[in-house]
Amino acid sequence: MKPAPFVHHAPRSVDEAVAVLGEVGHDGKVLAGGQSLVPILNMRLASPGHLVDINQVAGLDAVAVDDGSVRVGALVRHTGLERDERAYAALPLLRQALVHVAHPVIRNRGTTVGSIAHADAAGEMPTILAMCDGVVEVCGMSGSREIPWHDFFLGPLETSLSEDELATAVRFPRFPSGTGTAFLERARRHGDYALAGVGAAVTVTDGVVSGVRLGFVSVTDVPTVLDLSAAYAGQEPAAVDWASSADAVGDAVAPEDDIHATAAYRRMLAVELARLALTDAAGRAA
Amino acid sequence: MSEPVDEELLDVTVTVNDVPRHARVPARRLLSDFLRHDLGLTGTHVGCEHGVCGACTVLVDDAPMRSCLMFAVSAQPHRITTVEGLGTQDAMGPVQQAFTECHGLQCGFCTPGFVTTITAYLDENPDPTAEEAREAISGNLCRCTGYQNIVKSVLRAAELRQEAKGQ
């Protein structure tokens, strides 16, 4: 339960970090909070020869809120984002989901961008990025680029980041005014990976529903958004029977059996959580 | 700890319990092992080594973190507080005092992680309810007590802190 030997790099700037990543190529791995990476190293599920520790890189630790989005730098810890009042006011869904990320002690060290770059289907924040139609800001040897979430997540633990690229920030676009959100999940034990999790965003314009989005945790291979706007548009939010989302939700998820739960149970849970989350979100929309 | 002869050693200095401590260690040295093996501070216990059990929890700039999920080399810019820094046998801190009064431990293996976690929690939430106290310790595993007396210890520690403040 000790990591294999590696060379530790402590770059002071994004350019330095990218240069090292480019040099070591496939043998390199970025270390930010390490709350997913270090267990993997300890259990020797991976043994990269080089760790590029970005904790001393300047300028990556800011949360910035503007009219359009909440921008989160690569060294912002989950706790920092969770407690940021401006981010909460702009996008309550962030805090609604962050309180479900592991335990507070893990959130004190783990980073939101790192969780997204790790791309675990059981992670909350990749799905939140997808629900917000977010982008990942990336720097590499050939310059910087922005990757929309749907091009970023390729599969479980797999992203479109190149070996020389560092995810420097993510941007969570804000929902239109009149949007209510909710995030619910169930786990065997408090703080464990969710058996299923569901985020919901309901937008109400002029008293009627104009947008409905759902996102899923632990029941799809990659972050998946289910847009049900067409099905509910024009209805009064208080009059909607959200249980009618069951068939669409059941079709959208593709859970698997494992030692924690059967696929059928996870699907049932996703359907029920979607109903509850949509009800909560609609109640908060105005 | 013995290392492979060809493994590069780094000079690592970490401030632990307000004292700068130095050792030559490989980059892969976990902070938990650095504390125990290199510095001889065996109060920090190592359980699962993947962040689940909470026994190795230390305070990093006063915030509780898993020392098994950090490398010593990454801890250098920070102030580390271990259970040894939270009191002595003759002058126990309020959380330690509460654990002894409320029988908050049996075998004691998990206790250092509880003491650090609860200390930081009470700094931010000085007057928790029983339910909040239970939530506060939800990231730490104990296999002896059934948690009831640990919840009591959190509430008693909060009282002791208030009393100390009042004096």
Give pLDDT, residue B115.
98
Q: Does A5 touch chain B (CB under 8 A)?
A: yes
Give pLDDT, residue B4.
62
* Integer Cα distance of A106 and A177 in angstroms: 33
The total number of residues written for chain A in this structure: 286
- Which of A206, A220, A235 is CA-nearest to residue A119? A220
Domains of chain A: 7-53 (3.30.43.10), 63-173 (3.30.465.10), 179-284 (3.30.390.50)
**Percent of chain B whose pLDDT exceeds 70:** 97
The model's pTM is: 0.96
Q: Are residues B56 and B93 both part of a single domain?
A: no
Residue B15 lies in a domain: yes
Residues spanned by the domain of B162? 87-166
Give pLDDT, residue B2.
58
A43 chain-B contacts, CB cut-off 8 A: 50
Backbone angles phi, psi at A41, to 5 degrees: -70, -45
Question: Residue A285 in contact with residue A202, Cβ under 8 Å?
Answer: yes
Q: Are residues B109 and B79 both part of a single domain?
A: no
Q: Are residues B35 and B69 both part of a single domain?
A: yes
Residue B94 lies in a domain: yes
Q: In a structure prediction context, what are the per-residue pLDDT tens digits for chain B, which is 167 residues long? A: 555 667 899 999 999 999 999 999 999 999 999 999 999 999 999 999 999 999 999 999 999 999 999 999 999 999 999 999 999 999 999 999 999 999 999 999 999 999 999 999 999 999 999 999 999 999 999 999 999 999 999 999 999 999 998 87
Cα atoms in the 13 Å half-sphere on the side-chain side of A222: 13
Binary contact (A108, B60; C-beta < 8 A): yes
CA distances from A118 to A1, A32, A146, A157, A222 (A): 21, 11, 17, 6, 12
Q: Are residues B16 and B46 both part of a single domain?
A: yes
Q: Say what the ipTM of the complex is.
A: 0.95
Residue B133 lies in a domain: yes
Tokens of A199: 């985020």
* Integer Cα distance of A217 and A223 in angstroms: 7
Q: Does B143 touch chain A (CB under 8 A)?
A: no
Q: Which of A2, A102, A109 sits opposite B70 (nearest CB)?
A: A109
**Percent of chain A whose pLDDT exceeds 70:** 100
Q: Are residues B69 and B129 both part of a single domain?
A: no
CATH number of the domain where residue B62 is located: 3.10.20.30
In Å, the largest CA–CA distance within chain B is 58
Q: Are residues B68 and B129 both part of a single domain?
A: no
Give pLDDT, residue A158.
97
Q: Are residues B131 and B156 both part of a single domain?
A: yes
Residues in chain A where the model's pLDDT stays below 70: none
Q: Which of A8, A43, A106 sits opposite B27 (nearest CB)?
A: A8
- Which of A108, A126, A94, A164 is CA-nearest to residue A136? A126
Q: Are residues B81 and B60 both part of a single domain?
A: yes
* Integer Cα distance of A10 and B10 in angstroms: 12
pLDDT tens digits, residue range A6-41? 999 999 999 999 999 999 999 999 999 999 999 999
- What total of structural domains would you count in chain B? 2
Residue B153 lies in a domain: yes
Residue B5 lies in a domain: no
Tokens of B122: 């009470």
Sorted by sequence, the CB contacts under 8 Å of residue A243 that are 6+ apart come out as A275
B57 chain-A contacts, CB cut-off 8 A: 105
Arithmetic mean of pLDDT over chain A: 97
Question: Residue A201 in contact with residue A49, Cβ under 8 Å?
Answer: no
pLDDT tens digits, residue range A78-126? 999 999 999 999 999 999 999 999 999 999 999 999 999 999 999 999 9
Q: Are residues B151 and B80 both part of a single domain?
A: no
